[in-house]
Amino acid sequence: MNFFIQVSNPKYLNRTNDECIESLSDAVEDSFPLNTEDAFLVWNHIYVPLSYKYDISYMIEDLVKILKKIMESEKGSLNICWLPDTFRCDWKIEWSAGEINILSHWDCTVGDLEDLLNNNNSIKMPIEQFLNEWKKLLELIVCVLKHNGYTETNLDGLDELITVYEKINDAGMLYKDNEA
Protein backbone atom coordinates (compact mmCIF):
# COMPACT_ATOMS: atom_id res chain seq x y z
CA MET A 1 0.00 0.00 0.00
CA ASN A 2 1.36 3.41 -0.97
CA PHE A 3 -0.35 5.43 1.76
CA PHE A 4 -1.07 4.63 5.37
CA ILE A 5 -1.01 6.15 8.84
CA GLN A 6 0.87 4.65 11.78
CA VAL A 7 -0.58 6.15 14.97
CA SER A 8 2.13 4.82 17.33
CA ASN A 9 1.59 5.02 21.10
CA PRO A 10 2.09 8.64 22.18
CA LYS A 11 2.01 9.80 25.76
CA TYR A 12 -0.58 12.43 26.48
CA LEU A 13 -0.90 14.96 29.24
CA ASN A 14 -3.59 14.76 31.88
CA ARG A 15 -5.14 18.17 31.58
CA THR A 16 -8.39 19.53 32.81
CA ASN A 17 -10.50 21.43 30.36
CA ASP A 18 -8.83 24.83 30.09
CA GLU A 19 -11.46 27.50 29.53
CA CYS A 20 -8.87 29.61 27.64
CA ILE A 21 -8.65 26.95 24.94
CA GLU A 22 -11.28 27.57 22.31
CA SER A 23 -10.06 25.71 19.23
CA LEU A 24 -9.59 22.08 18.39
CA SER A 25 -6.00 22.81 17.32
CA ASP A 26 -5.12 24.41 20.66
CA ALA A 27 -6.72 21.56 22.62
CA VAL A 28 -4.70 18.95 20.69
CA GLU A 29 -1.47 20.93 21.13
CA ASP A 30 -2.13 21.30 24.86
CA SER A 31 -2.91 17.59 25.29
CA PHE A 32 0.37 16.13 24.01
CA PRO A 33 3.94 16.64 25.27
CA LEU A 34 6.73 17.54 22.88
CA ASN A 35 8.74 14.43 23.68
CA THR A 36 6.51 11.52 22.80
CA GLU A 37 6.14 9.08 19.93
CA ASP A 38 5.24 10.58 16.57
CA ALA A 39 2.59 9.36 14.20
CA PHE A 40 3.88 8.47 10.74
CA LEU A 41 2.28 9.27 7.43
CA VAL A 42 3.66 6.72 4.99
CA TRP A 43 3.75 8.11 1.47
CA ASN A 44 4.96 5.74 -1.26
CA HIS A 45 6.93 3.75 1.34
CA ILE A 46 8.54 6.90 2.79
CA TYR A 47 7.88 7.39 6.51
CA VAL A 48 7.12 11.02 7.33
CA PRO A 49 7.00 11.77 11.08
CA LEU A 50 4.13 13.86 12.42
CA SER A 51 4.44 15.40 15.87
CA TYR A 52 1.18 15.22 17.79
CA LYS A 53 1.96 18.47 19.61
CA TYR A 54 2.88 20.59 16.60
CA ASP A 55 2.08 18.90 13.27
CA ILE A 56 -1.18 17.13 13.99
CA SER A 57 -2.47 19.98 16.13
CA TYR A 58 -1.94 22.39 13.20
CA MET A 59 -3.49 19.94 10.73
CA ILE A 60 -6.53 18.64 12.61
CA GLU A 61 -9.10 21.29 11.66
CA ASP A 62 -8.18 21.16 7.96
CA LEU A 63 -8.05 17.37 8.07
CA VAL A 64 -11.60 17.17 9.43
CA LYS A 65 -12.83 19.54 6.68
CA ILE A 66 -11.07 17.54 3.96
CA LEU A 67 -12.38 14.17 5.13
CA LYS A 68 -15.89 15.58 5.53
CA LYS A 69 -15.86 17.04 2.01
CA ILE A 70 -14.65 13.75 0.52
CA MET A 71 -17.39 11.85 2.38
CA GLU A 72 -20.13 14.24 1.26
CA SER A 73 -19.31 14.35 -2.47
CA GLU A 74 -18.87 11.49 -4.90
CA LYS A 75 -16.69 13.72 -7.03
CA GLY A 76 -14.62 16.77 -6.23
CA SER A 77 -11.28 18.44 -5.88
CA LEU A 78 -9.51 20.67 -3.42
CA ASN A 79 -6.10 22.03 -2.65
CA ILE A 80 -4.59 22.04 0.82
CA CYS A 81 -1.48 23.81 2.01
CA TRP A 82 -0.28 21.99 5.10
CA LEU A 83 1.39 24.67 7.20
CA PRO A 84 3.36 23.06 10.01
CA ASP A 85 7.06 23.91 9.69
CA THR A 86 7.97 20.24 9.85
CA PHE A 87 5.23 19.04 7.49
CA ARG A 88 5.12 21.83 4.93
CA CYS A 89 3.57 20.53 1.73
CA ASP A 90 0.76 21.16 -0.72
CA TRP A 91 -1.70 18.53 -1.84
CA LYS A 92 -3.93 18.74 -4.90
CA ILE A 93 -6.69 16.23 -4.14
CA GLU A 94 -9.16 14.93 -6.74
CA TRP A 95 -11.68 12.15 -6.31
CA SER A 96 -14.33 10.43 -8.43
CA ALA A 97 -15.59 6.95 -9.26
CA GLY A 98 -14.43 5.63 -5.89
CA GLU A 99 -10.78 6.65 -6.40
CA ILE A 100 -8.75 9.46 -4.87
CA ASN A 101 -5.68 11.00 -6.48
CA ILE A 102 -3.28 13.23 -4.58
CA LEU A 103 -0.51 15.18 -6.26
CA SER A 104 1.88 16.65 -3.72
CA HIS A 105 4.70 19.14 -3.50
CA TRP A 106 6.89 18.94 -0.40
CA ASP A 107 8.80 21.94 0.99
CA CYS A 108 9.93 20.89 4.47
CA THR A 109 9.82 17.73 6.58
CA VAL A 110 11.66 16.30 9.55
CA GLY A 111 14.63 14.38 8.16
CA ASP A 112 14.92 16.46 4.97
CA LEU A 113 12.82 14.02 2.96
CA GLU A 114 11.56 16.61 0.46
CA ASP A 115 13.57 15.48 -2.59
CA LEU A 116 12.64 11.86 -2.05
CA LEU A 117 8.97 12.75 -1.55
CA ASN A 118 8.88 15.08 -4.57
CA ASN A 119 10.31 12.29 -6.73
CA ASN A 120 7.41 10.10 -5.54
CA ASN A 121 4.75 12.79 -5.36
CA SER A 122 1.50 11.08 -6.34
CA ILE A 123 -0.86 8.66 -4.67
CA LYS A 124 -3.88 6.89 -6.18
CA MET A 125 -6.07 4.63 -4.07
CA PRO A 126 -9.69 3.76 -3.27
CA ILE A 127 -11.43 6.57 -1.38
CA GLU A 128 -12.62 4.20 1.34
CA GLN A 129 -9.07 3.03 2.05
CA PHE A 130 -7.86 6.64 2.24
CA LEU A 131 -10.57 7.49 4.76
CA ASN A 132 -9.93 4.31 6.75
CA GLU A 133 -6.27 5.25 7.20
CA TRP A 134 -7.27 8.28 9.29
CA LYS A 135 -9.69 6.46 11.62
CA LYS A 136 -7.26 5.37 14.37
CA LEU A 137 -5.59 8.78 14.45
CA LEU A 138 -8.96 10.50 14.85
CA GLU A 139 -10.00 7.94 17.47
CA LEU A 140 -6.89 8.62 19.53
CA ILE A 141 -7.42 12.38 19.39
CA VAL A 142 -11.10 12.08 20.35
CA CYS A 143 -10.23 9.78 23.29
CA VAL A 144 -7.46 12.07 24.58
CA LEU A 145 -9.63 15.19 24.31
CA LYS A 146 -12.55 13.52 26.09
CA HIS A 147 -10.17 12.21 28.78
CA ASN A 148 -9.08 15.80 29.34
CA GLY A 149 -12.66 16.97 29.85
CA TYR A 150 -13.45 18.40 26.45
CA THR A 151 -16.97 17.89 25.14
CA GLU A 152 -18.90 18.87 22.06
CA THR A 153 -20.39 21.78 24.02
CA ASN A 154 -17.16 23.26 25.41
CA LEU A 155 -14.79 22.81 22.45
CA ASP A 156 -15.57 24.18 18.99
CA GLY A 157 -15.04 21.57 16.30
CA LEU A 158 -15.07 18.49 18.52
CA ASP A 159 -18.58 17.61 17.38
CA GLU A 160 -17.50 17.70 13.74
CA LEU A 161 -14.39 15.63 14.51
CA ILE A 162 -16.50 12.99 16.24
CA THR A 163 -19.01 12.92 13.38
CA VAL A 164 -16.27 12.40 10.78
CA TYR A 165 -14.61 9.74 12.93
CA GLU A 166 -17.89 7.83 13.37
CA LYS A 167 -18.63 7.91 9.62
CA ILE A 168 -15.37 6.17 8.70
CA ASN A 169 -16.27 2.51 8.28
CA ASP A 170 -13.11 0.65 9.17
CA ALA A 171 -9.63 0.98 10.60
CA GLY A 172 -6.60 1.46 8.39
CA MET A 173 -4.33 -1.25 7.09
CA LEU A 174 -2.18 -1.55 10.23
CA TYR A 175 -5.17 -1.72 12.56
CA LYS A 176 -7.57 -4.12 10.86
CA ASP A 177 -8.49 -7.24 12.77
CA ASN A 178 -6.96 -9.71 10.34
CA GLU A 179 -6.06 -13.31 10.85
CA ALA A 180 -2.96 -14.12 8.89
Strands (E), 61-147: 76-82, 87-96, 99-109, 122-126
Pair 89, 117: CB distance under 8 Å: yes
Sheet holding 46-50, edge to edge: 3-6, 39-43, 46-50
Q: What is the largest CA-CA distance in the chain?
A: 48
Q: Which residues pair with 126 in a beta bridge?
A: 99
Instruction: For residue range 78-130, list pLDDT tens digits in order.
Output: 999 999 899 999 999 999 999 999 999 999 999 999 999 999 999 999 999 99
Rounded to two decimals, what is the model's pTM? 0.95
Position 20 scores a pLDDT of 81
Q: Which residues pair with 113 in a beta bridge?
A: none
Give the Cα separation of 150 and 80 in Å (integer): 27
Residue % of the chain over a pLDDT of 70:
97
For the chain, residues with pLDDT lower than 70 are 17-18, 178-180
Q: Where are the domains of the chain?
A: 3-74+127-175
Position 18 scores a pLDDT of 66
